[in-house]
Chains A and B, each alone.
Chain A
């Protein structure tokens, strides 16, 4: 396949990738979109394998790599639990970053294969692009490894902060710039690997101060980085498909990071500086630490079942706690029974309800909740006012009215779900512990709130049993 033909094939692949993203505007067209993406990737790989000069030995090696990687990828995709999706995505991002590092290294040691000069005499512009791709790839790799470890619980989600951290990062950033300039001037292999090492260290240092609660932003941000890394490599080897795809992915990740930040009312800078949130809202016993407040009203699952049986409109507000307790399935059973009683059920999802953008929607879809019953914050917030019941399960901070009223609160300004407007609010919770943000929820003490203390799954199961009677 000649140069023109392969360029044409790359163009077709770019268009198919754009159509893949376009398909995701609607669940109906999304499966088709994913298929377009697969076809685009297939075309890109085949067109590259058919390029002139491809030796038989090389093709065999490539096919072997595809087979090994493909098998691992397929197994991972089939076995992963949907609750662990964020970890998997973080791990995948790290692979893109590492692949970028290796491609940059290959281009450095064999520049003639990419038409960017000869070993020891690479064009300066190409060296600039190469060091960009290399540095972003390496930062994506080590940053994603940390994000993976934090999300997977292999490492505490608590932010790791030490004195002079930001100064150190700034100094290392400046040093990186110096190394890049020296590398472009000399083209020395030692400098190439020093840039890689320093970038690995930077990626690591940039993510360790960021707390577990901010991981949705970090995962989106690393998604963006992996795109920019691909684009950087595209510039290095002069490949338009890589540039276009990298830009698409980079833009996508940036938008998701923005949406996540807005969902928490935090600026991206604030998130990156880190230190916010902890491992998880540690569970305390009922009533712990609130001796001086008005008593909370605790109810039994039977009470809740009785009230919900007579309700017309019920809004379920799931948070990540529901997924941790694996309660999605039983929540859906409860909803089915209530529908039979004539109630109208909908689900309200906060942008940061899960551990990555859209995570809660996937978890509900997995439990066979129809997607047209699931609504985003803006769509549903006005409806709480005429809801009979708001059933809050595993969510806390995202319902806290202090975000609207208390300027001193850590979550002030964060958009919240207006559950307090419902006639009755049920709060399924293990105890009185505060959420990720470490802020107490005044909703617990409202007269129209009834606390249902216990494990999310068990409490809901008991409600289901009472409803069946």
Chain B
């Protein structure tokens, strides 16, 4: 292999390297917004999974005697979906969205008040011996 050949080889290698680098740069450019979009999702997913674990351990600690009140409370707090309905009612510019939001607020409110109050009624009945 003479020096000329080696120089040619080196030149073509560097060309290819430059091409690859350009390619990588383009890939990174397309990936960046994807990563930015994935980040809040990953954060939400992390919090979701953590909350599942918290729920798992807290609920196993609930005494079986209070499983009905537990359903009442979880029912009431799952109506926290009202937050989404309130945002729709208050912020939406489309009339349809506002109407949907209003119906959502009304339905969830039945649950919030009904759930907490029926739980309170149940719990007020649980009394110890002699009290």
Contact = CB atoms under 8 A, between A and B. Distances in A.
Contacts, number: 392
* Range, interface on chain A: 35 or more
B21 interface: no
Interface stretch (A242-250, A418-426, A429-437): A242-250
Contacts of A242: 80-81, 83-84
Interface stretch (A101-109, A315-323, A404-412): A101-109
Contacts of B82: 44-45, 99
Interface in B94-117: 94, 96-98, 100-117
Contacts of A49: 86, 90
A368 B58 CA distance: 28
B2 interface: no
B88 A73 contact: no
A18 B97 contact: no
Nearest to B76: A37
Contacts of A366: 125
B73 A243 contact: no
Contact of B114 (A17, A76, A244): A76
A40 B126 CA distance: 24
B56 A40 contact: no
A342 to B, nearest CB: 16
A88 B44 contact: no
A398 to B, nearest CB: 15
A48 interface: yes
Interface string B58-95: 11111111111111111111111111111111111110
Given A62-B86, A96-B79, A103 B104 contact: yes
Contact of B40 (A33, A93, A99, A238): A238
Interface residues of B, number: 84
A349 B67 CA distance: 13
A371 interface: yes
A85 B105 CA distance: 23
Contacts of B130: 370
Nearest to A105: B100
A110 B127 contact: no
B80 to A, nearest CB: 5
B97 A110 contact: yes
Given A27-B123, A247-B51, A21 B58 contact: yes
B71 to A, nearest CB: 5
Interface in A77-106: 77-78, 80, 82, 85, 88-89, 92-93, 95-96, 98-100, 102-103, 105-106
A318 to B, nearest CB: 13
A88 B51 contact: no
Nearest to A17: B77
Interface string A348-371: 010100101111011001101011
Interface in A30-79: 30-31, 33-34, 37-38, 40-41, 44-45, 48-49, 51, 53-55, 58-59, 61-62, 64-74, 76-78
A223 interface: yes
B52 interface: yes
Contacts of A21: 55, 58-59, 62, 70, 73-74
B75 A92 contact: yes
11 contacts: A53-B91, A55-B90, A61-B102, A69-B109, A88-B118, A95-B110, A96-B81, A109-B94, A235-B41, A248-B55, A252-B74
Interface of B: 37, 40-41, 44, 47-49, 51-52, 54-56, 58-94, 96-98, 100-131
